[in-house]
Amino acid sequence: MLTFVRTHTQTLVTLTLAATCVAMIALWPQWREALAQEGYYKSGRMTGGGGCTVNGVHVKHGFELHCSPSQEPNNLEVNWTIDGQTGSHRFHLDTLDTAICTDDPILDEEQPVAGFDTYEGTGTGSYDGQSGALASWKFTDDGEPGGGVDTLTIDITFGQTSVLNISCTLENRGNHQAHK
């Protein structure tokens, strides 16, 4: 009897989870719209670039990324060198898979007012000319000038190897700019 109850309970839990997943998939556009109305998701785009150095890793990047992956263009280029190694490395975004723009109450994008200051995304692209690289990133816009206040966090993997994982504040000439 106990085995039947346990199996029955497991079946009910599995069916409940499956039904919840189906409902979320079917309702996702409405959920996204509701969350946007509440201020969690923002529309627009972020542009910019710059560089920083952390522990001998020198990173430069440039981008134009929309808050919705279906809006184009979406471009991201990341170049880096590592002290003690010859040559440089490059990531080029081919496909923007996910994007979310949010307003962090601690940050202020200042002018122009865009309604958001933080961009988080994921995508696929090429690493040193070879396709199959995965990237995830977070860029912030904390007003002008961007250098010294805007931040970048990026993780790039190729195969099972993390080829770049860095989080830093942009140096003097860098800037991220949120746009409506």
Asked whether the bond before 112 is cis by omega within 30 degrees of 0, the reply is yes
Clarify whether residues 1 and 73 are in a common domain: no
Clarify whether residues 83 and 126 are in a common domain: yes
Say if pTM beats, i.e. exceeds, 0.95. Answer: no
pLDDT digits (tens, 9 = 90+) for 88-103: 999 999 999 999 999 9
Clarify whether residues 132 and 76 are in a common domain: yes
Q: How confident is the model at residue 5 (pLDDT cuts 50, 70, 90)?
A: very low
Helix (H, G, I), strand (E, B) or coil at 79: strand
Clarify whether residues 137 and 50 are in a common domain: yes
* Domain extent for 170: 45-179
pLDDT digits (tens, 9 = 90+) for 130-159: 999 999 999 999 988 877 899 999 999 999
DSSP 143: S
Clarify whether residues 137 and 121 are in a common domain: yes
Helix (H, G, I), strand (E, B) or coil at 17: helix
| Count of residues in the chain | 180
Clarify whether residues 78 and 114 are in a common domain: yes
Count of structural domains within the chain: 2
Clarify whether residues 32 and 14 are in a common domain: yes
Residue 81: beta bridge partners?
A: 58
